[in-house]
Amino acid sequence: MSTFSNNIKSIRLSKNLTQKQLSQMLGITERAYQYYEAGTREPNVDTLINISKVLDVSIDYLLGLTKTPDLNK
């Protein structure tokens, strides 16, 4: 699994969300989300931005470029 996959799973679990709940919040299919979390597929830029907003973390954090999840840092 990639850093991105590990991060979205970890954040999802910390927010006590199921894959189904998060996929609905993102407006994508549960299967599409499962692919992202499994590391089989990567989201496009628009979906990545949406994931960042919904999970309230920076894109840099999602991608493993920073250890700080805060959007303001």
The structural domains of the chain, with segments of one domain joined by +, span 3-62
Q: Among 3.40.470.10, 1.10.10.10, 3.30.479.10, 1.10.260.40, what is the CATH number of 3-62?
A: 1.10.260.40
Per-residue confidence (pLDDT) for residue 64, from 0 to 100: 93
Res 6 pLDDT > 80: yes
Distance, CA of 46 to CA of 21 (rounded, Å): 19
For the entire predicted model, the pTM comes to: 0.89
CA 10 to chain centre: 9
Per-residue confidence (pLDDT) for residue 72, from 0 to 100: 57
Supply 4's token pair: 């991105």
Distance, CA of 26 to CA of 36 (rounded, Å): 12
Average pLDDT of the segment spanning 37-58: 96
The helix (H) or strand (E) run that includes residue 16 is none
Phi, psi of 8 (to 5 degrees): -65, -35
